[in-house]
Amino acid sequence: MTHVVVPQALIDRRDPVRLVVSGGGSGGHTFPAVAVVRAARTAFRAHGLELQPFWVGGERGVEAKVAAEEGVPFTAIPTGGTFRGSNRLSRLSSAVGRVPVGVREAVNIVRGIRPHAVLCTGGYASVPVGLAARLCHRPLLVHEQAVRVELANRITMRGAARVALSAEPTMDLLPERLRGRAVVTGNPLRPGLADGDARAAPARLGWDGWTPSLPTVYVTGGSRGARHINELVTAALPELLRYANVFHQAGAEPAGPVPAAVERLPPDLRPRYLARGFVGEELADLLALADVVVSGGGCGTVGELTALGKPSVLVLPARPAGDERRRNAEHLAAHGAARVLVGEEAAPARLVGELALLLTDPLRRSEMSAMARRLGRPGAAAALTNEVLALCAAAS
């Protein structure tokens, strides 16, 4: 296991270390920054040092709430909206008016803080900050969570002193000039996620109908939910609940298919199904309890599944919202670490069949778990933090 090592130059200097972090719009882009801040703070305290983190993010992302929870000062700046969309012209037009303003504000922030290093973890909010780091000549580290580099990171990587990747195949996708600056650290787990207690999960979740003699499936569409997963799973419930408990993180979709599906379930099966909009601190225990995970293949979730060695069925729409989800899914499937259903393949009967193969065959689950764990990097938080601290130590 990799451990955080504070460079001797920082120990000798004794001055507070200033770090600007930027990334957000989703939990997948936010949690790596949280992991670095927490790991660095803990390591610094052991040496009597102080870390002074500052978070710069978007006006409507999840990062403001997360920064407040972590006690990190947060500044919102204008961004280019979303870099995704079916129309390239609309993407560019949405960015043109806001990115320059965001860059100007980010430059003022970076100049005022004079950070020893800047960490960008992706998402459109990180683009102005990454560009500002380059303009202000501050050392920049960019962390990519996906197998294929997303557009925002492709922009900021051009001025990065160091590039941290989550998966080995990404190295071959980088331009030749960036490979010498790149290192594979893995994708940090959310803090505490590896410390779950399966025995405590039913009580913490308030799941009175959980049946100990049956395996458990955890369904998640990510922090925002995913309608295509919700519709698929609710259609499969009557058959699936005959041989499994199902916990369903459905996201904020009160008018979606979940309430109606619960009403249609036979009374004897209904207690085995529990749906929630979100999962908080219980997530570690829930993942420890889960025998198989059904997911949309987001970067954060894939990193967690591999680090924890969880068998999974990844469900993607015919045209995934982001190409990184397809790349993530293909990467895991190629190594036998997941099963993948795309578009019309993702029919209720097919999902039930895929889950049945895993839930009724402990050996098959064990083999998939081992393959997933081989792809995981449980020491990713420490490895990424060490890269950031090395830049801080080298800064003037």
Check whether residue 349 and residue 243 sit in a common domain. Answer: yes
Query: Going by DSSP bridges, is the β-strand pair 312-316/339-342 parallel, antiparallel, or unpaired?
Result: parallel
What's the rounded mean pLDDT across residues 171-193? 91
Check whether residue 336 and residue 390 sit in a common domain. Answer: no
What is the reported pLDDT for 267?
A: 93
Check whether residue 114 and residue 230 sit in a common domain. Answer: no
Q: Give which of 392, 395, 394, 396 is closest to 43, Cα–Cα.
A: 392
Would residue 304 count as lying in a domain?
Answer: yes
Would residue 3 count as lying in a domain?
Answer: no
Check whether residue 22 and residue 99 sit in a common domain. Answer: yes
> Residue 228: is its pLDDT beyond 90?
no
Distance, CA of 205 to CA of 216 (rounded, Å):
13
Query: What pLDDT band is residue 253 in, cutting at 50, 70 and 90?
Result: low
Distance, CA of 86 to CA of 33 (rounded, Å):
29
Cβ 269 vs Cβ 259: under 8 Å:
no
What is the reported pLDDT for 84?
A: 47
Cβ 80 vs Cβ 94: under 8 Å:
yes
Would residue 182 count as lying in a domain?
Answer: yes
> Residue 90: is its pLDDT beyond 60?
no
Check whether residue 127 and residue 270 sit in a common domain. Answer: no
Check whether residue 387 and residue 251 sit in a common domain. Answer: no
15 is in which domain, residue-wise? 8-188+379-394
CATH number of the domain that residue 50 is part of: 3.40.50.2000
Show Cβ contacts of residue 129 under 8 Å, excluding neighbours closer than 6 positions: 20, 22, 56, 77, 106, 109, 110, 118, 120, 156
> Residue 85: is its pLDDT beyond 60?
no
Check whether residue 136 and residue 197 sit in a common domain. Answer: no
Check whether residue 220 and residue 367 sit in a common domain. Answer: yes
User: Which is higher by pLDDT, 170 or 86?
Assistant: 170
> 99-113 and 88-96 helices cross at what angle (nearest 10)?
50
In terms of C-beta density within 10 A (0-12 exposed, 13-18 middle, 19 or more buried), how is residue 205 classed?
Answer: middle
The stretches of the chain forming alpha helices (DSSP H) are: 8-13, 27-46, 63-70, 88-96, 99-113, 126-135, 151-156, 169-173, 176-179, 201-205, 227-240, 258-264, 283-289, 299-308, 323-334, 348-359, 362-375, 380-394
Check whether residue 110 and residue 224 sit in a common domain. Answer: no
Query: What pLDDT band is residue 257 in, cutting at 50, 70 and 90?
Result: confident
Cβ 144 vs Cβ 122: under 8 Å:
yes
User: Which is higher by pLDDT, 84 or 72?
Assistant: 72
Would residue 2 count as lying in a domain?
Answer: no
Q: In the chain, what percentage of residues exceed pLDDT 70?
A: 91
User: Which tokens is 139 given?
Assistant: 């050392």
Give 104-149 pLDDT, tens digit per residue: 999 999 999 999 999 999 988 899 999 999 999 999 999 998 888 8
Would residue 1 count as lying in a domain?
Answer: no
Check whether residue 60 and residue 171 sit in a common domain. Answer: yes
Check whether residue 245 and residue 320 sit in a common domain. Answer: yes
Cβ 300 vs Cβ 220: under 8 Å:
no
Total domain count for the chain? 2
Distance, CA of 18 to CA of 40 (rounded, Å):
11
> Residue 181: is its pLDDT beyond 50?
yes
> Residue 92: is its pLDDT beyond 50?
no
Query: What pLDDT band is residue 62 in, cutting at 50, 70 and 90?
Result: confident
> Residue 95: is its pLDDT beyond 80?
no
DSSP output for 151-172: HHHHHHGGG-SEEEESSTHHHH
Would residue 308 count as lying in a domain?
Answer: yes
What is the reported pLDDT for 193?
A: 87
Check whether residue 232 and residue 366 sit in a common domain. Answer: yes
Would residue 199 count as lying in a domain?
Answer: yes
- The SS3 call for residue 45 is helix
Q: Which helix (H) or strand (E) holds 344?
A: none
Would residue 105 count as lying in a domain?
Answer: yes
How far is residue 219 CA from its own chain's centroid?
16
